[in-house]
C-alpha cells in the first residue's frame, strides 16, 4: 500500500471566474489561503467542482502551477485529469506532474463509457506512465459507468493506483470493496453526506464540496472520525446535513458557486452549459446559509 496522499478533508475547489468568463487567478489564490486557514489537508484543482470540462488544457496547467505555488508545500495539491479520452487524461497527467502536483484524480470515462475491462485498461494506461499517485474517481451518476468492487481489487495491485474517491452513494457496495481490497487502497468519500458512514467502514477522509464554504467544519468532522469518535462525528454531521443536501439541489457546482458569491468569497460566474441557480432553490440555499451564519 502506498502512503496516503492525505487523510482528512480535501476540498474539491471551485474555479472562480470573472464576468467575462476568464479565470480569476487572484480569487483562486485567495481561496487557497482561506482553505489552508480552515485546516484542510489537500485541494483538488480542476475537478468536477472546478468546471474542468470547460477549461482549456492551458488553463488546467496554469491552475495546477498557481495552486502548487500558492500552497507552497503547506497542503497537498491533487490535479484533476479526468477525460473520456485516455490519451488526453495522460497528457493532463504529464502537465500536472511537470507543474509539481502531489497526486492525480482521474474520473471514470463518460459518454463513450466502457466495460470493466476497459476501466482497468484506462486507469492502468495512465498509472503506468506517471510517477504520481493516482486516485480513481467513481461517480456513476455523472459518468454513466461505475467501478465494480472486483475491478477495484484488480486496480489495487498497481503500484501507483493509491486511492479511490467513491461517490456512488452505495454504502453496501463500498463495504464489499473495502473487504476485497483491504489496505491496498486508501478510500475517500466523494459525497459530504456519506463521510461519517464511509469513514466508519475504513475511509480516511472526504473530497468535499461543502468545505469550499466551511473547511473548518468538514475538517473537524473528519478529525473526529479518524480519532474514532463516531458519535461526536455523527452529531456534527446532523448539524451540517442541511448544507450538504442543499448544495446538491441543482447540478454541482451551481449551488456552491452561488453560495460562495452570496458569502462574498468569490464571484458566482460559471461557464455554459451551467446557468444561474433557479429562484426557488436559491431561496432555499440562502435560508440554510443564514441559519449557519455563513452570509
Residue 280 placed within a domain: no
Residue 98 placed within a domain: yes
Residue 45 placed within a domain: yes
| 115 SS3 class | coil
Residue 249 placed within a domain: no
Q: What is the pLDDT along the chain (295 residues), one digit of tens a residue?
A: 668 999 999 999 999 999 999 999 999 999 999 999 999 999 999 999 999 999 999 999 999 999 999 999 999 999 999 999 999 999 999 999 999 999 999 999 999 999 999 999 999 999 999 999 999 999 999 999 999 999 999 999 999 999 999 999 999 999 999 999 999 999 999 999 999 999 999 999 999 999 999 999 999 999 999 999 999 999 999 999 999 999 999 999 999 999 999 999 999 999 999 999 999 999 999 999 999 999 9
Residue 279 placed within a domain: no
Q: Which candidate, 205, 158, 208, 200, places its Cα nearest to that of 181?
A: 158
Active-site residue numbers?
Answer: 137, 165
Residue 237 placed within a domain: no
| 159 SS3 class | coil
**Residue 135's domain spans which residues?**
8-229
Report DSSP letters for 74-102, one per residue: SSEEEEE---SSHHHHHHHHHHHHHHT-S
Global pTM value: 0.96
How many independent structural domains does the chain possess?
1
Residue 182 placed within a domain: yes
Residue 154 placed within a domain: yes
Q: How far apart are CA 7 and CA 18, in angstroms?
A: 33
- The CATH number covering residue 111 comes to 3.20.20.70
Amino acid at each position: 500500500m502506498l502512503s496516503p496522499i492525505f487523510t482528512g478533508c480535501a476540498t474539491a475547489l471551485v474555479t472562480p471566474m470573472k464576468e467575462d468568463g476568464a479565470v480569476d487567478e487572484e480569487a483562486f489564490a485567495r481561496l487557497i489561503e482561506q482553505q489552508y486557514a480552515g485546516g484542510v489537508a489537500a485541494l483538488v484543482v480542476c475537478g468536477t467542482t472546478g468546471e474542468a470540462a470547460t477549461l482549456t488544457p492551458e488553463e488546467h496547467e496554469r491552475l495546477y502551477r498557481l495552486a502548487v505555488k500558492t500552497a507552497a508545500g503547506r497542503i497537498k495539491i491533487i490535479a484533476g485529469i479526468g477525460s473520456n479520452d485516455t490519451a488526453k487524461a495522460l497528457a493532463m497527467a504529464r502537465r500536472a506532474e511537470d507543474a509539481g502536483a502531489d497526486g492525480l484524480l482521474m474520473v471514470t470515462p463518460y459518454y463513450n463509457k466502457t466495460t470493466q475491462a476497459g476501466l482497468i485498461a484506462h486507469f492502468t494506461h495512465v498509472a503506468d506512465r506517471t510517477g504520481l499517485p493516482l486516485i480513481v474517481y467513481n461517480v456513476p451518476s455523472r459518468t454513466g459507468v461505475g467501478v465494480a468492487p472486483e475491478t477495484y481489487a484488480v486496480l489495487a495491485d498497481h503500484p501507483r493506483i493509491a486511492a479511490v474517491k467513491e461517490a456512488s452513494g452505495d454504502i453496501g457496495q463500498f463495504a464489499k470493496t473495502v473487504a476485497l481490497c483491504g489496505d491496498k487502497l486508501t478510500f475517500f468519500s466523494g459525497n459530504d453526506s456519506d463521510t461519517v458512514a464511509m469513514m466508519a467502514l475504513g475511509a480516511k477522509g472526504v473530497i468535499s464540496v461543502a468545505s469550499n464554504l466551511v473547511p473548518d467544519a468538514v475538517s473537524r468532522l473528519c478529525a473526529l472520525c479518524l480519532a474514532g469518535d463516531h458519535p461526536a462525528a455523527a452529531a456534527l454531521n446532523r448539524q451540517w446535513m442541511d448544507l450538504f443536501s442543499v448544495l446538491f439541489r441543482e447540478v454541482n457546482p451551481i449551488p456552491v458557486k452561488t453560495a460562495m458569491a452570496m458569502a462574498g468569497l468569490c464571484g458566482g460566474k460559471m461557464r455554459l452549459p451551467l446557468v444561474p441557480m433557479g429562484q426557488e432553490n436559491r431561496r432555499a440555499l440562502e435560508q440554510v446559509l443564514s441559519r449557519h451564519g455563513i452570509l
